[in-house]
Chain A
């Protein structure tokens, strides 16, 4: 509710921000003013025949303002008639829209709130009305009960009730399943009271948007009917009627038909614009999208001017991957990134054979473009992984670990953009590659497994087709040969009866089988690096173990480097060789899993481990990290973790700690990392 009150405060300001919407609102106000004050303004000018002034040309003020748009063949000024017609239009459209809005929304909320037969009967009635063209309905009814304004209002109101009914039904049926409605029921609140208090306030904004669009429809139908001669009848004036009249004199007096049509277009377009604006400003998700600037494509990112850095580790530990030099030519440095991330790749921090890194990510930075400017979500991430090794990227949700994987794989959403850093696959920076070279690598070089296999498999294609795709794209195999390979692959990942199941669709498989299919697709071309983005989160525990075993088998069989992105400490302990712990968009600690978990060198890692229930803590109080991870828009200055850190001191606020070696093959981004390591 608080949010609603706020939006009520802000809507005039929002309206002023959007010039289009503001102009549209002005137009609608002008039409309304004409409708209300029109009769006072023009008297009987609109209907009085004046045979001294027939067919006056427009755009001349010689005969008074009323003739500025010319006059018709009976000498009636077009401008005055336009104003009079605005009244007619609104007197039909407004009551019709209000009637159908009132009846349709109450009916729809009632049907949606109660569900069951009330819902299905209501929907069936709506279907019946909607399946019949409204103009035709109006034609028949107006034929039987001779045309009149009241008749039009009634017909249009009835014809449009289903539109509101459906919308209100859908929204309130969704609310029905929510808990707060259940709670209200438990307290014995009656149906109507519940609808009024809980359902109506939520559903109404959507319904008003629908009403604005419907207003256009009603206006257009009324003017069509009047144009056809079965709507508003002379001597009343309507824009549609004026167009019909102007049609007779199209050759001699074009203005009679042109201006009323323009009036209709301007009014309906204004209502449409305002409705679109209302939808955007009531739906935060939409506004977010609306505010995005187009920005450069991630694929056209200029190659970072660090050509001297060859494969392998950077020359010095102090090299600054972000925030310096021409890396950031496209976007200004993120305002909230306090200092450049002086990240050290773990390889430099004491890895024995740095040259063997299959994938080395160095100072990767990703921004999300928002209306309020770029928000850095990945702030200088560095890690490396060798073939045959499993590296876990561990962190809470929102820490940027998935964003990191997607950036490396080149799969960021259009709103996100890589603004710095490198990702070297066998020494070649994949972030600097063009789209074509990138596509060649996608599959045989880098591959990715997603979290939710149901949405990651295309629901309308057979799994055989989808599994055959990598072979068709990269090896140019025929349909038949690719399918044979797809079936082999399905057998390899343990799908029973693979050859007959290849013709099935994703929804016909269980969750575990779908995840196997997704993994099969990812390893089809024996990638050098497999990024597994929470591959087992959506699965139950027994299936989880099977999937992890499958990944481990494939990793050793194909000598892949596996990057396991997860928030599950147990999974990391059991399946990873090395771990990179992420917090607020950076890596805070890296090292071999047994060592990091045995003796964490960063207070965050320590906090994470202490919050896990374990045998040795039995009976004692379970510690958790106080507070919550920072919003990417307002990451604390200095060390991002300092506000939650038990060890925080003055230096933490002033200086952002960099990832620095704390032992053999270990590094931590903490001013006291060494102390923790030695303690």
Chain B
């Protein structure tokens, strides 16, 4: 287990390094970094002063060393808008997004397991067809439009839910629902597919031949085998939640990392954008390892392969 974690950590450090490098070169290779960091109206003197202060007049290799040292200390420079350290701004915004994403994934996984299993239990039944159609529609509805329709119906017309903010349970409904719809739609289809093949496996017949009740056959025998492919996709979807968070947080004024990123793009606040991107990459790195641990817990064959 420990060996596996170590090996997996080493191999997923590569994407993390690519992101770190990518951000560095994007910022340097497009010309004067001052163009990225400073407002367009900056005078040549301001630019020169900025370059000297941040070491942009140094050779590239020195700059890279400084950059790595800064990143290692989570020092991403100051926000143009607030003059606060960019790293702090990002860390302040993170919990809001994590909470939103956590609830969403929890609901998506539980709901998809229940509905996907029901659909897979009798392939091509009415339940299956309805579930398949709704889930494929859910997976192809644009989240920003879904959010706006939610606001139109439940906030503007009916007045049941607030249009933005984070106070009270009602404020969570529309953001979570919007963020939920795509991962839920995809997961239902994945769970269904995995369960259809698990339920037609010989070991399921053996379980029935032992006189096991259907609930035990489905949840005790089939589901654990179907969990592995679903888990892989759930991991990818959790990474994809960052996409959704950008949209949802912008629409509902949610003070999370997604809104922070869009705001810093629109106001050209490169320090904050860079900090947000690198921290997101770090979280994704941790998430991938978590998915691997879950795989090993679920499947003894993965454990054995990892130990070998």
Are B26 and A228 in contact, CB atoms less than 8 angstroms apart?
no
A101 within 8 A of B: no
B266 within 8 A of A: yes
The stretch among A186-194, A285-293, A390-398, A622-630 that forms the contact with chain B is A285-293
B60 within 8 A of A: no
Chain A nearest CB from B97 CB (Å) reads: 12
Chain A residues with CB under 8 A of B26 = 140-141, 144
Are A294 and B125 in contact, CB atoms less than 8 angstroms apart?
yes
- The CA of A254 and the CA of B240, in the complex, are separated in Å by 29
A223 within 8 A of B: yes
Chain A nearest CB from B180 CB (Å) reads: 16
Chain B residues with CB under 8 A of A142 = 265
Are A459 and B14 in contact, CB atoms less than 8 angstroms apart?
no
- The CA of A470 and the CA of B210, in the complex, are separated in Å by 6
- The CA of A446 and the CA of B210, in the complex, are separated in Å by 9
Are A273 and B210 in contact, CB atoms less than 8 angstroms apart?
no
- The CA of A435 and the CA of B217, in the complex, are separated in Å by 14
B253 within 8 A of A: no
- The CA of A134 and the CA of B284, in the complex, are separated in Å by 13
Are A228 and B250 in contact, CB atoms less than 8 angstroms apart?
yes
The answer to whether residues A134 and B243 also contact, given A294-B125, A410-B208 and a CB cut-off of 8 A, is: yes
Q: Give the residue among B23, B203, B214 with the most A Cβ atoms within 10 A.
A: B203
Chain A residues with CB under 8 A of B236 = 130
Q: Which label, helix, strand, loop or mixed, suits the secondary structure of the A interface?
A: helix
The stretch among B42-50, B66-74, B81-89, B143-151 that forms the contact with chain A is B143-151
Chain A residues with CB under 8 A of B18 = 128
Chain A residues with CB under 8 A of B250 = 228
Chain A residues with CB under 8 A of B19 = 132
B109 within 8 A of A: no
A328 within 8 A of B: no
Are A133 and B225 in contact, CB atoms less than 8 angstroms apart?
no
Chain B nearest CB from A297 CB (Å) reads: 8
Chain A residues with CB under 8 A of B210 = 442-443, 469-470, 473, 521
A455 within 8 A of B: yes
A69 within 8 A of B: no
Chain B residues with CB under 8 A of A136 = 242-243, 246, 261, 277, 280
A261 within 8 A of B: yes
The stretch among B111-119, B167-175, B299-307 that forms the contact with chain A is B299-307
Chain B nearest CB from A173 CB (Å) reads: 18
Chain B residues with CB under 8 A of A261 = 142, 145-146, 148-149
A641 within 8 A of B: no
Q: Pick from B209, B225, B281, B299: contact of A442, CB below 8 A.
A: B209
- The CA of A517 and the CA of B301, in the complex, are separated in Å by 18
A491 within 8 A of B: no
Are A220 and B142 in contact, CB atoms less than 8 angstroms apart?
yes
Q: Pick from A223, A246, A260, A411: contact of B209, CB below 8 A.
A: A411
Chain B nearest CB from A675 CB (Å) reads: 43
Are A143 and B265 in contact, CB atoms less than 8 angstroms apart?
yes
B251 to A, closest residue via Cβ: A247
Interface positions, chain A 434-448, Cβ under 8 Å from B, are 435, 439-443, 446-448
Are B156 and A250 in contact, CB atoms less than 8 angstroms apart?
yes
A595 within 8 A of B: no
Q: Pick from B140, B211, B270: contact of A272, CB below 8 A.
A: B140
The stretch among A33-41, A203-211, A262-270, A553-561 that forms the contact with chain B is A262-270
Are B203 and A456 in contact, CB atoms less than 8 angstroms apart?
yes
Q: Pick from A128, A289, A452: contact of B123, CB below 8 A.
A: A289
Are A269 and B148 in contact, CB atoms less than 8 angstroms apart?
no
Chain B residues with CB under 8 A of A410 = 208
Are A224 and B300 in contact, CB atoms less than 8 angstroms apart?
no
Q: Which label, helix, strand, loop or mixed, suits the secondary structure of the B interface?
A: helix
Chain A nearest CB from B302 CB (Å) reads: 10
- The CA of A521 and the CA of B152, in the complex, are separated in Å by 60
Are B126 and A294 in contact, CB atoms less than 8 angstroms apart?
yes
- The CA of A141 and the CA of B298, in the complex, are separated in Å by 38
Chain A residues with CB under 8 A of B261 = 136, 139
Chain A nearest CB from B7 CB (Å) reads: 14
- The CA of A258 and the CA of B205, in the complex, are separated in Å by 50
Chain B residues with CB under 8 A of A450 = 202, 205-206
Chain B nearest CB from A223 CB (Å) reads: 6
Chain A residues with CB under 8 A of B202 = 450, 452, 455-456
**Number of chain A residues close to chain B: CB under 8 A:** 85
The answer to whether residues A251 and B206 also contact, given A140-B23, A459-B301 and a CB cut-off of 8 A, is: no
Q: Give the residue among A260, A447, A469, A507 with the most B Cβ atoms within 10 A.
A: A469
B62 within 8 A of A: no
- The CA of A140 and the CA of B242, in the complex, are separated in Å by 13
- The CA of A439 and the CA of B277, in the complex, are separated in Å by 56
Are A133 and B265 in contact, CB atoms less than 8 angstroms apart?
no
Q: Give B20-31 as 1s and 0s: 1 = Cβ < 8 Å from A's Cβ atoms.
A: 000100110010
Are A273 and B136 in contact, CB atoms less than 8 angstroms apart?
yes
Chain B residues with CB under 8 A of A469 = 207, 210, 212
The answer to whether residues A460 and B144 also contact, given A442-B209, A450-B206 and a CB cut-off of 8 A, is: no
Chain A residues with CB under 8 A of B99 = none
Q: Give B251-285 as 1s and 0s: 1 = Cβ < 8 Å from A's Cβ atoms.
A: 10000000001100110101001000100110010
Are A135 and B243 in contact, CB atoms less than 8 angstroms apart?
yes
A93 within 8 A of B: no
Chain A residues with CB under 8 A of B273 = 139-140, 143
- The CA of A99 and the CA of B269, in the complex, are separated in Å by 32
A582 within 8 A of B: no
- The CA of A508 and the CA of B307, in the complex, are separated in Å by 14
Are A224 and B123 in contact, CB atoms less than 8 angstroms apart?
no
Are B144 and A442 in contact, CB atoms less than 8 angstroms apart?
no
B298 to A, closest residue via Cβ: A460
Chain A nearest CB from B153 CB (Å) reads: 10
Are A132 and B15 in contact, CB atoms less than 8 angstroms apart?
yes
A419 within 8 A of B: no
- The CA of A669 and the CA of B214, in the complex, are separated in Å by 40
Are A460 and B224 in contact, CB atoms less than 8 angstroms apart?
yes
Q: Give A119-140 as 1s and 0s: 1 = Cβ < 8 Å from B's Cβ atoms.
A: 0000010011011111110011
Are A522 and B299 in contact, CB atoms less than 8 angstroms apart?
no
Chain A nearest CB from B158 CB (Å) reads: 13
Are B201 and A455 in contact, CB atoms less than 8 angstroms apart?
yes
A229 to B, closest residue via Cβ: B266
- The CA of A227 and the CA of B148, in the complex, are separated in Å by 11
Chain B nearest CB from A527 CB (Å) reads: 10
The answer to whether residues A230 and B265 also contact, given A251-B156, A411-B209, A469-B212 and a CB cut-off of 8 A, is: yes
A220 to B, closest residue via Cβ: B142
- The CA of A230 and the CA of B263, in the complex, are separated in Å by 11
B262 to A, closest residue via Cβ: A228
Are B203 and A128 in contact, CB atoms less than 8 angstroms apart?
no
Chain A nearest CB from B214 CB (Å) reads: 8
Chain B nearest CB from A392 CB (Å) reads: 20
Are B145 and A264 in contact, CB atoms less than 8 angstroms apart?
yes
A414 within 8 A of B: yes
Are B124 and A265 in contact, CB atoms less than 8 angstroms apart?
no
- The CA of A373 and the CA of B122, in the complex, are separated in Å by 19
Are B142 and A459 in contact, CB atoms less than 8 angstroms apart?
no
Chain B residues with CB under 8 A of A264 = 142, 145
Please give 19 more A-B residue pairs, beta carbons under 8 A apart, in addition to A131-B284, A243-B144, A450-B202. Answer: A128-B18, A132-B284, A133-B239, A133-B242, A143-B265, A143-B268, A220-B140, A257-B145, A268-B140, A411-B209, A442-B208, A455-B203, A457-B203, A459-B299, A460-B225, A460-B299, A460-B300, A461-B224, A505-B301
Q: Residues of B with Cβ closer than 8 Å to A?
A: 12, 14-15, 18-19, 23, 26-27, 30, 36, 122-126, 136-137, 139-146, 148-149, 151-152, 156, 200-203, 205-214, 216, 221, 224-225, 236, 239-240, 242-243, 246-247, 250-251, 261-262, 265-266, 268, 270, 273, 277, 280-281, 284, 288, 298-301, 304
Nearest 10 CB-CB pairs, A to B? A261-B145, A442-B211, A268-B140, A135-B243, A133-B242, A458-B203, A456-B202, A505-B300, A128-B15, A439-B211
Q: Can you name 8 A-B residue pairings with CB atoms under 8 Å? A: A143-B268, A143-B270, A144-B27, A216-B140, A227-B144, A261-B142, A442-B208, A457-B203
